[in-house]
Chains A and B, each alone.
Chain A
């Protein structure tokens, strides 16, 4: 009993030294001669801070904000809707719960899991880039760019949630003559629906953030407006846009809580 314990401690100590050495080396590598904030940066930072307390609220600008929010929310909803549809289909297959035989399950799981991994390995911004190149600056480019990686993410999580259902009620359904499809409908889905929904809502939040950032590839929306205002150093406008973005996320959070509660009741 004593020996493995000692060697475990030794390896921990070794790791500790290695980490300390890495820290020391990186501190040594920093060039302390230069200031952390560049010359004009301090002034810009204080302007930015001042904007926080005087967000731009003129009706014309609010009109622009509303339109930009509409674009961002519309892209996010379009993307997540497609992602739920394809993610659910792929997730059910990838969970392998419909397979009757072990080899069948194995091939289903391996193929769809691979596909899901490929879809989510590429970031939505990269997909957006590819789609803008392929089909131009259309809403479809933004929606597809969101839908593909998000199906990959949702599909994988759905698959895992579906596998993780207590076996007894399912066995009992089977003994009443239920097929695996019917077990899915009557046993698995009712059990996992609240979890699946709240995860989907969380992903909707992420999709809104991602849709806002799509401006990096030139797609309209909140992010695009933030970029324009930042370029002109109109920080009060930037803050208005950021507050709206936070507001949208909070609204979705409230909505998700409400839906989940009504479902669990």
Chain B
């Protein structure tokens, strides 16, 4: 395990986290500790439980058994409330913005966890905390798109809007579920650079699921391998070698046992 830059308590502690869906076992007693500021890549073949793990960490899915804490507090207590959004921000594979809204509201949606219902309604008429959105969009180089309908933006611009939302949300942890899955290698690196900048700015902890070993080596400090819902390896990236990966992605053994 790589040494954490910040001392103090870990961000995440998962113990025996298990999640079963009717069709398959998604997570099988996962033990995991993540320290503040760590950059963790989650690798593994499709269906190995990467998304389930991120969803548990993001409080979107409750584990069947085991415990998961963030900053020492059980995720179970936070997942229903708004507190969690101040700690964890998620970026999704398809960015999942609201296509009909102007860009500024999609960015300011990152504040919804802190706003009352009335203030959110008001913001659709008179944008609240406008400065935050303006700064975030300027940081990502798309300030001029602020009042455009989000659906009119290119895929790359929409990514930036999604990251701007994350900036405005200002969580301690960024979870990214296959953020580069639909991108060509060059665009993937642009996105990873943007994410890294954003994360470095406030020394965020990042946990991302990926398929690219190259990106893992370039942007991450620690690699976790998942296979059939189990932790296959958990190592610093410099110890990631071809044998381990071949083992992880070996299709032969996958079909047989499930």
What sequence of 0s and 1s flags, for each residue 16-53 of chain B, a beta carbon within 8 Å of any chain A beta carbon?
00000000000000000000000000000000000000
With A176-B110, A177-B82, A177-B86 as known contacts, state yes or no: A182 contacts B98, CB within 8 Å. Answer: no
What interface size band does chain A fall in?
A: 20 to 34
| Complex CA–CA separation, A171 to B169 (angstroms) | 15
| Complex CA–CA separation, A168 to B91 (angstroms) | 12
| Complex CA–CA separation, A36 to B112 (angstroms) | 69
Set B84, B100, B105: member contacting A177, Cβ < 8 A: B84
Contact B109 A175 (CB under 8 A): no
What sequence of 0s and 1s flags, for each residue 38-72 of chain A, a beta carbon within 8 Å of any chain B beta carbon?
00000000000000000000000000000000000
Max chain B Cβ within 10 angstroms of own Cβ: one of A177, A186, A187: A177
Set A169, A171, A175, A186: member contacting B85, Cβ < 8 A: A175
| Interface segment out of the listed B66-74, B116-124, B184-192 | B116-124
Q: Can you spell out 7 A-B residue pairs with CB atoms less than 8 angstroms apart?
A: A169-B98, A176-B89, A176-B112, A177-B86, A182-B112, A182-B120, A186-B112
Set B94, B149, B169: member contacting A168, Cβ < 8 A: B94
With A186-B101, A187-B98 as known contacts, state yes or no: A177 contacts B113, CB within 8 Å. Answer: yes
In the bound complex, residues from chain A placing their C-beta under 8 Å from that of B95 are 172
Count B interface residues, CB 8 Å: 33
Question: Counting CB contacts under 8 A, is A157 at the interface?
Answer: no
Question: Counting CB contacts under 8 A, is B183 at the interface?
Answer: no
| Complex CA–CA separation, A222 to B194 (angstroms) | 65
CB distance from A99 to the nearest CB of B (A): 14
In the bound complex, residues from chain B placing their C-beta under 8 Å from that of A182 are 112, 115, 117, 120
Question: Counting CB contacts under 8 A, is B92 at the interface?
Answer: yes
Contact B109 A186 (CB under 8 A): yes
Residues in A159-182 with C-beta less than 8 Å from chain B:
168-169, 171-179, 181-182
| Complex CA–CA separation, A185 to B165 (angstroms) | 17
Contact B100 A191 (CB under 8 A): yes
In the bound complex, residues from chain A placing their C-beta under 8 Å from that of B98 are 169, 173, 186-187, 190-191
CB distance from B112 to the nearest CB of A (A): 4
Set A172, A176, A181, A193: member contacting B117, Cβ < 8 A: A181
CB distance from B147 to the nearest CB of A (A): 12
With A181-B117, A182-B112, A186-B101 as known contacts, state yes or no: A176 contacts B165, CB within 8 Å. Answer: yes
In the bound complex, residues from chain A placing their C-beta under 8 Å from that of B85 are 175-177
Question: Counting CB contacts under 8 A, is B99 at the interface?
Answer: yes
| Complex CA–CA separation, A118 to B149 (angstroms) | 40
Contact B109 A176 (CB under 8 A): yes
Max chain A Cβ within 10 angstroms of own Cβ: one of B60, B85, B109: B109
Contact A177 B97 (CB under 8 A): no
| Complex CA–CA separation, A190 to B101 (angstroms) | 6
Contact A193 B100 (CB under 8 A): yes
In the bound complex, residues from chain A placing their C-beta under 8 Å from that of B59 are 175
With A176-B89, A176-B112, A176-B169 as known contacts, state yes or no: A168 contacts B96, CB within 8 Å. Answer: yes
Contact B117 A175 (CB under 8 A): no
| Complex CA–CA separation, A177 to B101 (angstroms) | 18
| Complex CA–CA separation, A187 to B165 (angstroms) | 14
Contact B120 A186 (CB under 8 A): yes
Contact B90 A178 (CB under 8 A): no
Contact A178 B109 (CB under 8 A): yes
CB distance from A104 to the nearest CB of B (A): 14
Contact A172 B96 (CB under 8 A): yes
Question: Counting CB contacts under 8 A, is B114 at the interface?
Answer: yes
With A176-B89, A177-B114 as known contacts, state yes or no: A169 contacts B97, CB within 8 Å. Answer: yes
Nearest A residue (CB) for B93: A168
With A181-B117, A182-B120, A186-B112 as known contacts, state yes or no: A175 contacts B100, CB within 8 Å. Answer: no
| Complex CA–CA separation, A171 to B98 (angstroms) | 11
Contact B117 A173 (CB under 8 A): no
Contact A185 B113 (CB under 8 A): no
Question: Counting CB contacts under 8 A, is B58 at the interface?
Answer: yes
| Complex CA–CA separation, A173 to B60 (angstroms) | 12
With A176-B89, A177-B82, A185-B124 as known contacts, state yes or no: A171 contacts B112, CB within 8 Å. Answer: no
Nearest A residue (CB) for B120: A182
In the bound complex, residues from chain A placing their C-beta under 8 Å from that of B165 are 176
With A173-B109, A186-B112 as known contacts, state yes or no: A179 contacts B101, CB within 8 Å. Answer: no
CB distance from B21 to the nearest CB of A (A): 17
